[in-house]
Chains A and B, each alone.
Chain A
Amino acid sequence: MIEFRSVTKRFDDGTVAVDNLNLSVDAGTITVFVGPSGCGKTTSLRMVNRMVEPTEGAVLVDGADVRASDPALLRRRIGYVIQQAGLFPHRTVLDNVATVPLLSGWTRRRARDRAGELLELVGLPTELGKRYPAQLSGGQQQRVGVARALAADPPVLLMDEPFSAVDPVVREGLQDELLRLQAELDKTIVFVTHDIDEAVKVGEKVAVFRQGGHLAQYAEPDELLARPADDFVSEFVGRDRGYRRLSFLDASGIELRDVPTAREGALPEPRPEEWVLVLNAEDRPRGWLPPGSTVDTGSETAEVQPGGSLYTKGTPMRGALDAALSSPSGLGVVVDEDGRYAGVVTAEEVLEAIQQRRAEPEHGEPEQGGFG
């Protein structure tokens, strides 16, 4: 567990980067510090491993004031990942990952073996170990940065905008990877970002910082999106927070509807006057047959339109909305875990379900105003 007790940081030039911060980060969770540029996220993070010393107050890791430990020894027990990865350009990838074990006095051989395991853990082929950082892509460098931070198996991991230098597609992959790793490793992670989407995706708890190092709100992502504490937070989480929130609700409350279906290769004749969902022999959706299409357009495949994305039952509601919006018939196709057809939903139904959730007692008073 990490605790900030009335922590203030005033730099020599008078800048107050963090102002009386009180916050405790639960062990074994990912906690995200999010906020606009210059609001003191990095400064707060760096006070945990003594890269910055607080002016007032104390930072505790597992109940012990960090100032009681020698900085170098403390840092070897706290993983550290930064935006530019900061890999040592003159060392191979393997030796980069082996850094902390070597500093802690492991034999070279044991440290390298461990480094090899870590490359695998973060999804990199071990052959990559022989390369130099300059021979890696940005995304690979970040993975190596994460592997290096994890090498000595520290209980705490500090990550300062670890994925913000890579393009959005790679970033999403890295985020998924981090969540997968965390499910396996159960570290206490503090993750800094200025991207609210990233914050609500990777964070189990999110701390929103405001200019001057004030903590504006500290809550679970769903709570943060549903009930921003003030105008600053609601502005920061943005207009489309309703849509973001879909990521946290499953669609269990939505009544699935049935739609006429037909088997691939045996379409009804004459063609019906409504949308028909075409399934293959295993009940997997293949596409939509538009209403009133003519029989004699030649092959069946020319008639059947590709469906939109599929929504798998039990996954976040965002997928249900995506399915409905991307379907040519306006009906989102819902499948079970095996990918078999289960029913359809409309976008309106998804939105209604969200409104209902908002009105549920455990979520307090229904909010004024529309969706979003």
Chain B
Amino acid sequence: MLQEILSWLTDPAHWSGPDGIPHRLLEHLGYTVVAALAAIAIGVPLGLFVGHTGRGGLALVGLTNGMRALPTLGLVTFLFLVLGSTQTSTLIALVVLAVPPVLAGTYAGVQDTPRGVVDAAQGMGMTGWQRLWRVEVPNATPLLLGGIRNAVLQLVATTTVAAFVGLGGLGRYVLDGLRVYAYPKVAAGALLVAALAVVLDLLLAGLQRVIVPRGLRLAAVTRRRGGVAREPERVGTDVVAGAVAREGANG
């Protein structure tokens, strides 16, 4: 079986033409990226608004749970009946799938900003916008990006349904293979979907490392260890200063 999958994957005939791997991969990626961007465009501002103002938190939770409960294939079928376009229906259904994790991640990220930090930002004289951009958004980045990663993983897996309504993407291999009992083709399609998911997730993980501020990563480590950094010796300020200077030199 493994042999057969491998030979299917390495067959040059499967690497060209409209049903070739590169083309299907691009189609798949295309749906994923478009749906992800649309979900970000909807979910991030909404999550920031609700997180920042604290208004509509309950409604938001209800909405996201409701959206999560919708079966994607059923939604695509329904939308097709209403709209008549498979392409649009599929994209809308994918966006509906991807919005909840992005929205929830953004909202949770803003809410996760420590109370004292928000209080201090306000007390220092930041306006609402300044507090949002300079404090809440940076503090939200770990969970926000986590939400986006989540959404992308789900999108890559679910974009397979595009094939069910006659569109392209890697789902084609799975569906067409199943129809003619060509199991190596089915397995190869599934493998390609998984590989795409892994690669995209790695890319996003890299992006997360770049975007999440260093101070926040340090804070997360300190929190895991429990509490604040070790109190330096405190015989007197000079000793403290000395110890700090030494530590600083080492670190």
Contact = CB atoms under 8 A, between A and B. Distances in A.
Contacts, number: 123
B248 A80 contact: no
Contacts of A99: 124
A87 B124 contact: no
Interface in B107-150: 114-117, 119-127, 130, 134-135, 138-139
A43 B11 CA distance: 74
A229 interface: no
Interface string B214-251: 11101101100000111110100100010011001001
B117 A88 contact: yes
Q: Majority SS of interface residues in chain B?
A: helix
Contact of B124 (A83, A103, A127): A103
Given A87-B117, A137-B228, A137-B231, A80 B123 contact: yes
Contacts of A86: 114, 116-117, 119-121, 123
A76 interface: yes
Contacts of B215: 88-92, 132-134
B116 A73 contact: no
B228 A84 contact: no
Contacts of B230: 137
Contact of B116 (A76, A85, A131): A85
B231 A167 contact: yes
Contacts of B115: 84
Given A92-B215, A123-B241, A134 B229 contact: yes
Contact of A134 (B117, B219, B244): B219
A74 interface: yes
Interface residues of B, number: 38
B127 to A, nearest CB: 5
Contacts of A169: 234
Nearest to B130: A103
B209 to A, nearest CB: 14
Interface in A115-159: 123-125, 127-128, 130-141, 145, 148, 158
Given A88-B135, A89-B139, A82 B125 contact: no
A173 B237 CA distance: 8
A123 B237 contact: yes
Nearest to A104: B125
A72 interface: yes
A76 B214 CA distance: 27
A114 interface: no
Contacts of A145: 120
A85 B124 CA distance: 12
A136 B231 CA distance: 8
Contact of B232 (A71, A92, A137): A137
Nearest to B230: A137
A103 B133 CA distance: 13
A75 interface: yes
B213 interface: yes
Contact of B245 (A74, A125, A138): A125
A89 B122 CA distance: 15
Interface string A192-215: 000000000000000000000000
Contacts of A100: 124-125
A51 interface: yes
A170 interface: yes
Contacts of A127: 244-245, 248
Interface of B: 114-117, 119-127, 130, 134-135, 138-139, 213-216, 218-219, 221-222, 228-232, 234, 237, 241, 244-245, 248, 251
19 contacts: A72-B125, A82-B119, A83-B116, A84-B116, A86-B116, A86-B123, A87-B117, A88-B134, A89-B117, A90-B213, A103-B126, A103-B130, A124-B241, A135-B222, A136-B228, A136-B229, A137-B229, A139-B234, A177-B237
Interface of A: 49, 51, 71-76, 80, 82-92, 99-100, 103, 123-125, 127-128, 130-141, 145, 148, 158, 167, 169-170, 173, 177
